Copies of this chain bind each other. A is one copy, B any other.
């Protein structure tokens, strides 16, 4: 990735924040040297992380995003008109500040349906019971900054309890090509907590290996069996990646990925 110019660098309380422009990927936002978003492909990641659970819930009104300080997941959540309140719980206020100043993904920060809180996600979610229709974990890598806390069973259990009866959940769960042990660990821990747990995949060009995994979980709804493609066909907002065929296809796992989560 060839860099054109550096725009911003700082060391916050939690991590190093960098923003720079590149020739082929446009503007890039990185935490602790790990790419979080690029103009070219952030839509791939955010649409897959957000719309898979959002379209599974019959009527998502209250949504919690943990992490996701760039705002891309918030933007996708708010495309759903049913949403009355979307809370973005980003631990680091400096990420919010930088995103607001430099990133297009922050476009919905001032939407009246959005609420931004700067708290530790693990502690924040533990305050709620039976409260959210959808929880989306848009974390950094488990090895970077505060990301590790968002890969613990304790955290997943708190998410389960904060969800309503029909609640659905998604989390980014790393690359099955380069970090299969993280995929396995996250999937296994989520599966211990939720009765329905399904791994799915999407392209994400600027992330290591370009092959990214997400884990869907719910208290009962199956992301393929209970999916209604008509809801997506009727959706009137612009989507650049996600569609009803992609939704179903994302759960078809190559053999080497099936192998990672076999017998868990």
- The interface of chain A, by Cβ under 8 A from chain B, is 24, 40-41, 43-44, 177-178, 201, 203-205, 209-211, 239-243, 245-246, 248-250, 252-256, 258
Contact A254 B203 (CB under 8 A): yes
Q: Can you list 23 pairs linking A and B with CB atoms under 8 Å apart? A: A24-B178, A40-B177, A41-B209, A43-B256, A177-B203, A178-B205, A203-B210, A203-B211, A204-B210, A205-B209, A205-B210, A205-B211, A209-B210, A210-B210, A210-B211, A241-B255, A241-B256, A242-B254, A243-B252, A243-B255, A245-B253, A246-B253, A248-B252
Looking at the complex, which one of B239, B241, B252 makes contact with A249 (CB distance below 8 Å)?
Answer: B252
Looking at the complex, which one of B40, B44, B252 makes contact with A245 (CB distance below 8 Å)?
Answer: B252
Closest to A211 in B: B203
Closest to A178 in B: B24
Contact B252 A240 (CB under 8 A): no
Smallest CB–CB gap between A116 and chain B, Å?
A: 29
Closest to A202 in B: B254
Alpha-carbon separation in the docked complex, A63 to B41 (Å): 37
Alpha-carbon separation in the docked complex, A256 to B240 (Å): 5
